[in-house]
């Protein structure tokens, strides 16, 4: 049993999603605060919570997950509500270690964005293997903004990339330029995904854009997080 925000205490969780969070607290090799961008976590998670799903926050090392974007919460009631919730905050400050979880415990996986995961989750084989096992069990895998960097190290049991033959989206070159990060990021995610996926899809900067290709769900930017969450819910309720 679990309750959060507007959820009834009588709702019994019937699905559980693993949410992978970065341990990397800066933008690339700079000293600028970073980690997971809060609204990309909260807006997708809000959709899952409303559907009655449970979740675990998991990172490579476990412990407190660095977040940023709290300075833009004045009009973001969803993020404020979750950050004010003691259980949510406790989970965020005490993420589980990836070596302590099993793919079979989850019905889906979600990678919120933020620049931090470009440095750790985007190259971590242990997280990639957990996600592969979830995906190959016929369960959805979703990501938003820089989150699709988590797809890069995932190889299926046949040795092929999870992205092979797939359409995908992520934060774009144009958005990196507009956000002033093009010269600070470790690499341009759009180009990295284009090298592995069948098609990279994008729209004008900051517009909502979500691609659903089979069990793979991706969103372009922060404004796409809720829509990614809704698509995850659709997959798990089908």
- 8 Å CB contact between 152 and 141: no
Q: Which residues pair with 141 in a beta bridge?
A: 109, 216
- 8 Å CB contact between 19 and 45: yes
- Sort 35 into a burial class: Cβ within 10 Å, 0-12 / 13-18 / 19+: buried
Cα(184)–Cα(132) distance, rounded to whole angstroms?
Answer: 30
Residue 7's pLDDT is: 44
- 8 Å CB contact between 231 and 198: no
- 8 Å CB contact between 89 and 80: no
DSSP state of 162: T
* Domains present along the chain, CATH in parentheses: 16-237 (3.40.50.880)
* Per-residue pLDDT tens listing for the chain (238 residues): 234 544 434 444 589 999 999 999 999 999 999 999 999 999 999 999 999 999 999 999 999 999 999 887 888 999 999 999 999 999 999 999 999 999 999 999 999 999 999 999 999 999 999 999 999 999 999 999 999 999 999 999 999 999 999 999 999 999 999 999 999 999 999 999 999 999 999 999 999 999 999 999 999 999 999 999 999 999 999 8
């Amino acid at each position: 049993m679990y309750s959060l925000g507007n959820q009834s205490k009588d709702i019994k969780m019937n699905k559980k999603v693993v949410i992978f969070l970065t341990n990397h607290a800066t933008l690339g090799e700079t000293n600028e605060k970073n980690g997971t961008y809060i609204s990309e976590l909260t807006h997708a998670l809000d959709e899952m919570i409303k559907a009655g799903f449970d979740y675990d926050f998991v990172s490579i090392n476990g412990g407190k997950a660095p977040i940023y974007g709290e300075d833009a919460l004045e009009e973001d009631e969803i993020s404020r509500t979750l950050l004010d919730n003691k259980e949510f905050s406790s989970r965020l400050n005490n993420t589980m270690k990836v070596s302590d979880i099993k793919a079979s415990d989850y019905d889906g996986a979600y990678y919120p964005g933020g620049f931090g995961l470009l440095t750790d989750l985007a190259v971590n084989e242990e997280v990639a293997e957990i996600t592969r096992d979830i995906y190959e069990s016929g369960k959805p895998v979703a990501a938003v903004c820089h989150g699709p960097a988590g797809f890069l190290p995932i190889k299926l049991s046949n040795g092929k990339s999870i992205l092979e033959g797939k359409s995908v989206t992520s934060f774009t070159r144009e958005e990196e330029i507009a956000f002033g990060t093009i010269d600070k990021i470790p690499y341009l995610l759009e180009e990295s995904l284009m090298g592995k996926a069948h098609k990279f899809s994008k729209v004008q900067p900051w517009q909502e854009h979500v691609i659903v290709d089979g069990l793979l769900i991706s969103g372009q930017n922060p404004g796409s997080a809720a829509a990614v969450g809704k698509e995850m819910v659709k997959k798990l309720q089908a």
